[in-house]
C-alpha cells in the first residue's frame, strides 16, 4: 500500500490525479495528501467526502518554507509509523489565463507578443500580471525545491521513494522550433530550470533508493491549457499515473512523455512515451 502527496489539487490535473488514485483499492493506495493554498474547492471537497478518509487536505503554500514546516508534522501524524511513498510536485503557473489557443490566435493575427526582455504583455492587459520571470520561477522551480526538501524525511521512510515533477515538452530545447511561436518565455525558461533541478535531485539520491524524475502530462484542458487543448485532464492524469507506476531507475533525472494511442504523430503534441530530449 502506497501513500501519496500531491501539490496543486484544487482543480485541473492535480484534482484529476487525486481522483485517478481513488479508483484504486485501499490495498494499493492508502492516504492521498492533497495540498491546496486555501480551503478545498467544491470539486476537491466532494472527492474528500467520498474517499472514506483516504484523501486528506493539507492547506500549505508550497513557496513558503514556514508554511511547509508547519505542514510536515500534520502529515507525519496522519501517516503514523508509515512513510510517504510518492510525492507528485504538480503545482505550477504560467501566463495562460485565457488558454494557449487564444494567445496563439492573437499573435498569429498580428497582435504583439511578450518578449524575453520585457516579460510583459502589451495586448493582454486583461490577463493577471503573473508571468514575471521571478514570480513564475518561484512557483515552478522553488516550490518544487521547497516541497521536496520539506517532505524528504517522510519519503526516506517510504518504500517506493518516488518524486515526480510535472514538466512539459514546451521546455525542451530540442522542440523549440515547434513551440517558438508560443508567447510564454517565462513558462519555458522555468520549466527548463525545473528539468535541471530534477536531474540534480535524481543524481544525488539515486544511490539512496530514490527514483526522482519528470513527467510531461500532455496539453490538457485546464485553466493553463485552455479549451483548445487536445486532452481532457482526466486523460492526462491517467496517462501520467501509468508513467509514474512504471518508472524505474533508468528514468532517474529524466523527463518522460505520456503515451496515448492516436496522438503519436501530432505537430508538437506527440504522446509517444519515452524520454523527452529536453
Go through 242-261 and write b for each residue having 16 or more CB atoms within 10 A of its CB, e for each that does not. bbbeebeeebbbbbbbbbbe
pLDDT confidence bin for 109, thresholds 50/70/90: low
Among 133-137, 173-177, 211-215, the least confident range: 173-177
- Sketch out the chain's domains with CATH numbers: 2-257 (3.40.50.720)
pLDDT at 121: 43
Among 96-110, 147-161, 234-248, the least confident range: 96-110
Of 131, 40, 54, nearest to 93 by C-alpha is 131
pLDDT in tens, 209-257: 999 999 999 888 887 777 777 788 899 899 999 999 999 999 999 999 9
pLDDT in tens, 43-89: 999 999 999 999 999 999 999 999 999 999 999 999 999 999 999 99
Of 144, 148, 168, 145, nearest to 156 by C-alpha is 148
Q: Which three cell numbers stand for residue 114?
A: 511578450
Residues with Cβ < 8 Å from 228, sequence gap 6 or more? 99, 100, 101, 102, 104
256, 276 Cβ separation under 8 angstroms = yes
Among 10-14, 97-101, 194-198, 222-226, the least confident range: 97-101
Mean pLDDT of 149-154: 98
Distance from C-alpha of 182 to C-alpha of 167, rounded to nearest angstrom: 16
Distances in Å between the Cα of 267 and the Cα atoms of 23, 70, 263 are: 32, 45, 9
Distance from C-alpha of 93 to C-alpha of 101, rounded to nearest angstrom: 16
Q: Which single residue is written with the C-alpha cell 509514474?
A: 244
pLDDT confidence bin for 120, thresholds 50/70/90: very low
Of 276, 244, 234, 100, nearest to 160 by C-alpha is 244
Residue that wins the pLDDT comparison between 222 and 258:
258
Distance from C-alpha of 63 to C-alpha of 232, rounded to nearest angstrom: 28
pLDDT at 265: 65
* pTM for this prediction: 0.88
* pLDDT at residue 126 is higher than 60: no
Q: What strand order describes the sheet that includes 211-216? A: 55-59, 29-36, 2-6, 86-89, 162-166, 211-216, 255-257
Instruction: Report the mean per-residue pLDDT for the chain.
Output: 86
Amino acid at each position: 500500500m502506497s501513500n501519496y502527496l500531491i501539490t496543486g489539487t484544487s482543480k485541473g490535473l492535480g484534482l484529476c490525479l487525486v481522483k485517478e488514485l481513488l479508483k484504486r483499492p485501499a490495498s494499493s493506495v492508502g492516504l492521498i495528501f492533497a495540498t491546496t493554498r486555501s480551503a478545498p474547492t467544491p470539486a476537491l471537497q466532494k472527492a474528500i467526502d467520498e474517499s472514506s478518509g483516504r484523501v486528506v487536505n493539507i492547506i500549505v503554500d508550497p513557496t513558503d518554507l514556514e508554511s511547509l514546516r508547519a505542514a510536515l508534522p500534520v502529515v507525519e501524524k496522519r501517516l503514523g509509523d508509515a512513510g510517504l511513498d510518492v510525492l507528485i510536485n504538480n503545482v505550477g503557473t504560467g501566463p495562460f489565463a485565457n488558454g494557449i489557443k487564444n494567445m496563439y490566435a492573437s499573435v498569429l493575427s498580428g497582435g504583439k507578443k511578450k518578449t524575453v526582455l520585457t516579460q510583459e504583455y502589451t495586448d493582454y492587459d486583461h490577463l493577471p500580471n503573473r508571468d514575471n520571470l521571478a514570480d513564475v520561477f518561484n512557483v515552478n522551480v522553488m516550490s518544487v525545491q521547497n516541497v521536496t526538501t520539506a517532505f524528504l524525511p517522510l519519503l526516506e521512510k517510504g518504500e517506493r521513494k518516488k518524486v515526480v515533477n510535472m514538466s512539459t515538452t514546451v521546455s525542451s530545447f530540442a522542440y523549440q522550433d515547434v513551440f517558438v511561436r508560443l508567447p510564454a518565455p517565462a513558462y519555458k525558461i522555468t520549466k527548463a530550470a525545473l528539468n535541471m533541478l530534477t536531474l540534480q535531485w535524481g543524481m544525488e539520491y539515486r544511490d539512496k533508493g530514490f527514483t526522482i524524475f519528470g513527467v510531461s502530462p500532455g496539453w490538457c484542458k485546464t485553466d493553463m491549457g485552455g479549451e483548445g487543448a487536445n486532452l481532457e485532464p482526466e486523460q492526462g492524469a491517467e496517462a501520467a499515473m501509468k508513467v509514474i507506476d512504471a518508472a524505474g531507475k533508468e528514468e532517474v533525472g529524466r523527463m518522460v512523455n505520456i503515451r496515448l494511442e492516436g496522438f503519436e504523430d501530432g505537430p508538437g503534441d506527440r504522446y509517444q512515451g519515452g524520454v523527452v530530449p529536453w
